[in-house]
Structure 1
Amino acid sequence: MRTVLVSVLASACLAAPALAQNRAAKPLEIYVVDVEGGNATLFVTPSGETVLIDTGNGGNQAARDAARIVEAAKDAGVTRIDHLIITHWHGDHFGGLQEVARQLPIAHYYDHGANVQATPATDDFFKTVYEPLTAKAMHTVVKPGDTIPVKDLKWTVVASAGNVLMKNLPGAGRPNQYCAESKPDAGDPTENAQSVSSYITFGKFRVVHMGDLTYNKELDLMCPNNRLGAADLFIVSHHGQAISNSPALVHALHPRAAIINNGTRKGGQPDAMKVLFSSPGLEDLWQMHFSLLSGQEYTVPGAFIANQIDQPDTAIPIGQWNPPAQGQQAPPAPVHNGKAYYFKITAQQDGTFTVTNMRNNFSKTYRPGTANATR
C-alpha cells in the first residue's frame, strides 16, 4: 500500500509542473467584435477566464450586436462572462447588454458609477435592465489604481469617473515629449470623459483599452510624465475620433499595432488617422470598416479591413468626406447588418502576438525586437 501511495504522489508531483507549463504555453486571446461603431472586446485567458468590455449598440441594433458578441464567444469556447466592464453610459457601449446577458451568464459587473449625462433611454436602461442584472450578480464601481482580479493577467484601471491614475505603473514615469504637441481643448462634460480605461499585461505583452476617454483626460493621465509606459497593442480610443487619440497618448504608448472599432461613417476621422499613422514604431493599423470620413487618403489596405457592407461595393472616395452644410441632412451611411467578422489576437507571454482578420484569414505576427511595417 505504501508503494502504491508513493507512486501516486510521485505521479501527481510530476503532473503538476506539466499542467502549469501547458497553461503557460497557452495564449491570451482577444476578440475585437464588429458592432458598427460601438464597442465590444472579449478577452479569454489561458485559464479560460473571460472579460468583456462593453456590449455594443442598443435599440433595434441590440439583437444584431449581441448575436455577434455571442458568436465570437462561442468560437472561443466561452459559455459565460466572468467580468463585464461597461466603460461609460452611452448606448453604443451598453446597448446590447440585455441580449448578451440572456445568452451568456455574467458573474461580475464593473462600471465608473453614476451617469453624468442622463437621458430618458439611459434612465430606463438602469431601471429595467442594469439594476435587475447587478442585483443578481457581483457589482463593483472602479476607480483609478484598482486592479480587476483576472487569472493570468494584470488588469489595472487607469481612468474612471473623470479621474486618472496619479502614480506611475512599473517602469513608467519618464517625461512625455509628446505633451508639447497636444494642446488641451475646451473640455468634455459628457460620459466619454468618464470612461473606464484599462492597461492590461500578460507576461511581457501589453494592451491598452481606453474606452471613449477624451483628449483632456488623456493629457491628465500622460502629462507631463508618461504614467503608463509603452504598449504592444492599442485598441484605438473612441472609434478613431479626433476628440480622443492625442499624440501625448498614442505616440507615447509607442504601440506596434493598433485596431480601430469604427463604422463606415463613425470614427476613423482624418485628424485621428494622422496621429495614428505618424505614431513612432507603429507597424500596422487594422480597421473594422473602411471609413468614408477619411476616404482612401487614410484608409488602410483592404487586407487589414475586417468588414464590407450590405450594398453592392462602390468605390471609396479618395479624399475625406465633407459633411453637408448646416441645416442639410446627410445621406444614410452604408448599412452592414449581414455577416460580420471580428479581429482575433493571440498573444504569448514573451510579447509575441498575432492579429488575424477573420474575413480573409490574413494574419500578421509581431515579435519582440523586430519590425516589419506594411505601410
Structure 2
Amino acid sequence: MLFTLHKSTLLETLPNIVITGSKSESNRLLLLQALYPELKIENVSNSDDSEVMQKALASTSNLIDVSHAGTAMRFLTAFFATQEGREIVITGSTRMKERPIQVLVEALNALGADISYLENEGCPPLQIKGKSLTNDKVTLKANVSSQYISALLLIAPKLKNGLELTLEGEITSVPYINMTLNLLNQIGVKTTFENNIITVHPLEKLNQQQQVLTVESDWSSVSYFYSIVALSPVGTKINLSYYKKDSLQGDSVLASIYTDFGVITTFNENSITLLKATESQLRSIDCQLQNAPDIAQTIAVTCFGLGLSCHLTGLHTLKIKETDRLVALKTELEKLGARVDITNEALQLYASAQIKDSVSIATYHDHRMAMAFAPLALKTNLHIEDAMVVSKSYPAFWDDLKSIGFKISE
C-alpha cells in the first residue's frame, strides 16, 4: 500500500503520544516467560515481531514461520534447541533465508544442540531437534550481532550448568547485551560480565517477588519524533510516554545525540518532553553508532532535512538487517537529491540545500525505512511505498503522525 504524505505543519497543540513497549525488551521477556511460565509481563509491544514471538512460543506445530522477524529467528532458534524431545523446522521470508545465522548455530551445536540447514549452508530454514544441552562453555567473535549473544544468554539459566560465554575482540552493541543481562538479573538470575567473559548461573524457578515485569516504551520508535521535532520550528514541543531516564535500551542515546539538532529532552515521572530549543549550531554531525545502529536511518534523514552533512560509523550490522540498510539509505536519499557515500560500516552524507518534491520512497520490507523518511513531509511532499511495513515494530505509527498534524492519504 502506497501512502502519500502531503507537505504538513504540526498542530499548535500536540497530543500526548503513548508508544508501545520496547520490542527488544518484549521479545527477551517473552522468551524468558516461555522458560519460566510464572513470569507475568505488562506493556508488551504490539509489534509484528513480538506477535510472531508469542505465536511461535505458543505453537504446537512442527513448522515455525517467522516471516521477516530477525530477532524472533535468532531467539527462537536458541529456545527450540533446548526443548528436549521436540523437533521443529524454523523458516521465514525470502530475505530471511538470505540472512546469516551460522554463528549462532555453531555456538548452539558446540553446547550440544542438534541443528542442521535445510537449504543454503549458514542460513535458514533450520531443522532443530531439541535436546538437553550439557556443555557450558562457548566462544564467539565479539563483533557479531548482539542478538546471537543475547539468544545464548537468554537460554543460559535453564541449562543444567549455566553458561560461560567468551567474546573475542571488540564487542558490538554492548547496551543490548547489558539489557539482556539486566532482565535476567531482574528475574533472579546471577550473572557476571568481566574481561569479555559473561557468566550466567542456572536458575530453576522464579522467586515470588520477581514474577511481574513492566516493559519500557520503545526508544527506537521515539527516534522518529526526535526527527520531527528537529525538523520543526523553534518552540515545538511534544510529550511521549512511557520512558525513564535509566533506560536499558541503547537507543536512549538519542537524548544526547539530538542536542546537536537543538532538541532538549526533559524526563518526567514516566514520560519525556522533547523541545526544539534552538536551531542546530553545527553544519556537520559525527556519530559513532556501534551501540545503537537502528537509529542511523533516522539521523541521516534528519541531517538531510536540515541541510546538514553527517558521518555515521559503526554500522557494519546494517548489512544484514531486513535489507542492506546502507545501500537502501544511499539509494533513497539520492532520489531526493542527496549525495551519499557508503562503506561496509559507515555513511557519509554531504550537505544539500534542496529536497526534490513528490519522490517515491521504496521501503524494502524494512519498517525503519518507512518511518525514518516520513518526517521529511514537514519539508516536502513524498510517497512511501509498502507503508504498512511499519507494523513490524510500530503499528500505530501513521495514526500517531496524523494526530499531530501530518496529512496522509492512501
Tell me if both proteins adopt one fold, taking TM over 0.5 as the criterion: no
TM-score w.r.t. length of structure 2 = 0.29
The structure that is helix-richer by fraction is 2
TM-score w.r.t. length of structure 1 = 0.31
* Higher RCO (C-alpha under 8 Å, 6+ residues apart): 2
